[in-house]
Amino acid sequence: MNFLLTGGTGFVGKKVTEALHDNGHHTFIITRTPDKYENTEKTTYIDFNFPMEELPLIYGVINLAGESLFGYWTEKKKEAILSSRISITNKVIDTIKRLKEKPKVFINGSAVGFYGNSNELIFTEATKEAGSDFLADVVVKWEAAAKQAEELGIRTVYSRFGIILGHGGSLPLMSLPIKLFAGGKIGSGEQWLSWIHIDDVVRLMYFCLFHEDISGAVNFTAPKPKRNKEFMKTLAAALKRPYWLTTPSFVIQTVTGETGQLITKGQYVIPQKALDHQFQFSYPELKIALEQIFNRD
């Protein structure tokens, strides 16, 4: 089968592409600079100007592109975070309309940021009320843009990612203080971190592609969130480093500005839809997930 992707050269996109190839599928990856990449038997690089009507039958479209959340959130940066997601999603919808036949499924990137922050509430896909902060607003508008696929009669999945653990994403940054022997909890340490191993992200996405009864929001998180203090302690153990310092929240906020909420605040998110569909997580436990990533026994 053939799949069309944006963000296919990123941290998650590369892994998803590899999984599709391993299962005998071909990928068409939309990128701003297709000439930078060499086409292979399994992958063809194109841009949005490509004559999409000439593509073979596309089974599924996966949209993972958007400005990185990392970096100081100036007003310009925040505008880029929002506008990149909306504009690219609109372009993807326009692309879908140009295909010879509609794809069977559309998976759009999203985030658990939809739910806002809380140390008390438990969030599942049944939670309909969005949070009130910047990230929640971004997700609401992003999913609204992607909903155009639903209106075309295409099964649509909103993959609400938690903190993705792997050799990329936020884990290297989170690990740095510990590797420098300055690791410990951040702030009170009571904030929840809803995490997931990159391998389970890929497996769950593949699962969603071919389970026709799955649609709407799907939480891409492991079934056992951890408080920051527990997460950092487990991470220190995996790295064989001490866990002894506390970084006050105000220090993070002073250095990183509003971006700091990504680590000073959190939410307890359960992947209820995945569990209800009997999806089996390879890494349901944080300790095992981190040991696998850092090659520890």
For residue 256, being part of any structural domain is answered with no
For residue 73, being part of any structural domain is answered with yes
The predicted-structure confidence for 266-297, as pLDDT tens digits, reads as follows 899 999 999 999 999 999 999 999 999 998 54
As a whole number of angstroms, the distance between CA 276 and CA 196 comes to: 17
Closest-CA residue to 139 (of 107, 110, 174): 110
Quote the number of domains for the chain. 1
pLDDT given for residue 179 in this prediction? 83
Closest-CA residue to 250 (of 241, 240, 261): 261
Structural contact between residues 224 and 287, judged by C-beta atoms closer than 8 angstroms:
no
As a whole number of angstroms, the distance between CA 33 and CA 47 comes to: 7
Domain range for 50:
2-166+195-221+268-281
Structural contact between residues 291 and 238, judged by C-beta atoms closer than 8 angstroms:
yes
Q: What are phi and psi of 49, to 5 degrees?
A: -85, -5
In order of 9, 28, 102, 279, the CA distances from 60 in angstroms are 17, 11, 9, 20
Q: Centre a 10 Å sphere on the Cβ of residue 279 and count the other Cβ atoms it contains.
A: 18
Closest-CA residue to 212 (of 59, 12, 78): 59
Structural contact between residues 111 and 218, judged by C-beta atoms closer than 8 angstroms:
no
Structural contact between residues 195 and 231, judged by C-beta atoms closer than 8 angstroms:
yes
As a whole number of angstroms, the distance between CA 82 and CA 139 comes to: 9
For residue 184, being part of any structural domain is answered with no
pLDDT one digit per residue (tens) for the chain, 297 residues: 999 999 999 999 999 999 999 999 999 999 999 999 999 999 999 999 999 999 999 999 999 999 988 777 889 999 999 999 999 999 999 999 999 999 999 999 999 999 999 989 999 999 999 999 999 999 999 999 999 999 999 999 999 999 999 998 788 877 887 887 777 888 888 999 999 999 999 999 999 999 999 999 999 999 999 999 999 999 999 999 988 877 766 666 665 566 667 777 889 999 999 999 999 999 999 999 999 999 854
pLDDT given for residue 296 in this prediction? 52
**For the domain that residue 110 is a member of, what is the CATH number?**
3.40.50.720
As a whole number of angstroms, the distance between CA 213 and CA 208 comes to: 9
For residue 136, being part of any structural domain is answered with yes
Pairing of strands 192-193, 226-227: antiparallel
For residue 80, being part of any structural domain is answered with yes
Tell me how far apart the 2 most distant CA atoms of the chain are, in Å.
59
The predicted-structure confidence for 60-79, as pLDDT tens digits, reads as follows 999 999 998 877 788 999 99
For residue 296, being part of any structural domain is answered with no
pLDDT given for residue 243 in this prediction? 84
For residue 117, being part of any structural domain is answered with yes
For residue 227, being part of any structural domain is answered with no
